[in-house]
Amino acid sequence: MVSEAVIRVRGLKTQFGTQVVHEDLDLDVQRGEILGVVGGSGTGKSVLMRAILGLLSPHAGSVDVLGETVTGRRDPVKLRRRTGVLFQDGALFSSLTVLENVEVPLKEHFPELSAQLRGDLARLRLRLVGLAPGTGAKLPSELSGGMRKRAGLARALAMDPELLFLDEPTAGLDPIGAADFDELLKTLQQALGLTVFLITHDLDTLYAICDRIAVLGKGRILTVGTREEVEDFDDDWIRDYFHGPRARSARAAQRRGGD
């Protein structure tokens, strides 16, 4: 059975001034998968995500998301209703309570909702990500790093999206907190039928929950495939990254988890 590409990037070129970040980049993301996106510092992982989301205009190429062309659209409102985004550290509004943060996209896209219904939907999302009922009344500054990540995830899920974008979701978490977040994300992806575009440097995350891995380098996608396929790709950075001591530890942890 042929998989459906819900994100299709062709010939993408992005640059800032004279600095070219991507050149002739192609990538497909298949419906229902968790795609892990990795690459060295400065390879443009977050820039690629922003181009896919329509938050920046590439210099060349095309981006299609859920059957709609993103490039050249001035206000892709319908597309934003079908996607959720978790930026680093949750990117919550510091002056709003956690519940009010989760309500923000609902207010923006569905202003006709009553305050009661909006609050009920937001509280449901908070429960969905494993936060206690009283968390909604707190400010982001009163939460731990892991709780802020979960609150940000709840906001990303507020619109019941088909696509979920995450930028380094486990950065700054201790190993136990990171593993718990990975398990939560995999559970939600399976339960809600999400397609996930996941930028990460965390090898444990790549080995534990990603269906495929895309490696950015030299301005393009060097390779994309299963973990085993990527590990076998002939490239110095990939060899160092996927065959070093941290990768061996991640593989061992995955084997123990599967026993």
pLDDT tens column, 8-47? 999 999 999 999 999 999 999 999 999 999 999 999 999 9
In tens, the pLDDT along 50-106 reads 999 988 889 999 999 998 888 766 556 678 889 999 987 668 999 999 999 999 999
Q: Is the pLDDT of residue 135 over 90?
A: yes
Q: For residue 58, which amino acid is it?
A: P
Give me the residue spans of the domains in the chain: 1-75+164-243, 92-161
CA–centroid distance for 49 within its chain: 8
Paired strand residues for 20: 15
Q: Compute the CA torsion angle 62, 63, 68, 70 (nearest 10 deg).
A: -90
With contact defined as beta carbons under 8 Å apart, do 106 and 118 qualify? yes
With contact defined as beta carbons under 8 Å apart, do 255 and 208 qualify? no
With contact defined as beta carbons under 8 Å apart, do 1 and 59 qualify? no
Residue of 141 and 72 predicted with greater confidence? 141
Q: What are phi and psi for residue 118, nearest 5 degrees? A: -60, -45
* CA nearest neighbour of 58 among 34, 210, 49, 66: 49
- Distance of alpha carbon 216 from alpha carbon 37, whole angstroms: 7
With contact defined as beta carbons under 8 Å apart, do 174 and 194 qualify? no
- Distance of alpha carbon 57 from alpha carbon 208, whole angstroms: 33
Query: Of all helices (H) and strands (E), which one includes residue 244?
Result: none
Q: Compute the CA torsion angle 153, 159, 161, 166 (nearest 10 deg).
A: -30
With contact defined as beta carbons under 8 Å apart, do 174 and 206 qualify? no
In tens, the pLDDT along 216-230 reads 999 999 999 999 999
Average pLDDT of the chain to the nearest whole number: 91
What is 1-75+164-243's CATH superfamily? P-loop containing nucleotide triphosphate hydrolases (3.40.50.300)
Mean pLDDT on 233-255: 79
- Distance of alpha carbon 218 from alpha carbon 25, whole angstroms: 10
Q: What are phi and psi for residue 181, nearest 5 degrees? A: -65, -40
